[in-house]
Each structure stands twice: as C-alpha cells, then as structure tokens.
Amino acid sequence: MPYEIDKPEDQWRAELTPQEYHVLREAGTERAFTGEYTDTKIAGVYSCRACGAELFRSETKFESHCGWPSFYDPADSSAVELIEDRSHGMVRTEVRCARCGSHLGHVFAGEGYPTPTDQRYCINSISLRLEPQED
Ligand SMILES: [Zn+2]
C-alpha cells in the first residue's frame, strides 16, 4: 500500500541530513543516550521529522532509562504503522510513520513499566521533531 507521502529516495536524501536519512529511510538506530530528546520533559507534540505528521505527545513520554525517548502510546493509533521485524536475529515490532513510511523505532510490550499500556515505543530522537506547547 503506498504511503500518503511517497517520495523517491534521492529526494529524501536531499531533504534530510545524512544522519536523519540513515535512521528514517534505512531503519538505522541512533546510539543510546545520544539523542536530543532522550530526557526531554518539555510539554509538546512530537512530529515525524521526515513529513511532519503528529506522532506522539509529551503526556505519554516516560522515563524508561533505555537510552531513547520512550512513549507508552502514540497520539493516535493510526499515526503509526507496526511491522514485524526479523532483522538482527530477533523478532521485534518496527514502528513507522503511517503517513510517509519512515522508520521511527520499535515497540516492546510486557516489560513491566508502570504505564497504562505496558508498552514502550522506543523511538529515535532524530526521527522526531518536538514542537513545544505554547501557553
Ligand atoms: Zn512521516
């Protein structure tokens, strides 16, 4: 199924930095504890850095101490696409932006975090852009 935002890879490559391109379009992973939003507690909305779609809200961000921004629920379940990922000898669930298909991270369940969903959306900072809430 084509994504609503469907650009040729060389266009993505031109629009994104090499680091953004590697994570968003090549399903890379930023190193743990290096992302700009790992410990961010600012209230706001996290959007897809590739297409700007709203993905997560700061209210569902929690401290997982895993080294990446962690959310227990997307802003809207249809904002993300979940895909089985069998790379690196593991079975994981990849999280992609439902609007442009860019890689965001992975989701893990049943780890025992004290959150309403017991899920951890483990998302690369570089896949997101935080728009702070105005008050
Ligand atoms: Zn997107």
Look up the CATH number of the domain holding residue 84: 2.170.150.20
Rounded to an integer, the average pLDDT of 128-132 is 97
How far, in Å, from the CA of 98 to the mean position of ligand 1? Answer: 7
Read out DSSP for 90-126?
A: --EEEEEETTT--EEEEEEE-S--SSSS-EEEEE-GG
- Write down the pLDDT at residue 2: 87
In-domain check, residue 2: no
Using the Cα atoms of residue 119, residue 125, residue 128 and residue 130 in order, give the sign of their dihedral. Answer: positive
How far, in Å, from the CA of 97 to the mean position of ligand 1? Answer: 5
In-domain check, residue 55: yes
Report the catalytic residues: 122
Rounded to an integer, the average pLDDT of 69-89 is 96
Rounded to an integer, the average pLDDT of 101-129 is 97
**Where does the pLDDT of residue 127 fall: very low under 50, low under 70, confident under 90, or very high at 90 and above?**
very high
Using the Cα atoms of residue 114, residue 39, residue 87 and residue 7 in order, give the sign of their dihedral. Answer: positive
In-domain check, residue 4: no
How far, in Å, from the CA of 127 to the mean position of ligand 1? Answer: 9
In-domain check, residue 23: yes
- Write down the pLDDT at residue 134: 78
89: which DSSP letter?
G
In-domain check, residue 76: yes
In-domain check, residue 89: yes
Total domains in the chain come to: 1
Range of the domain at 89: 9-132
Query: Is the model's pLDDT at 1 over the cut of 80?
Result: no
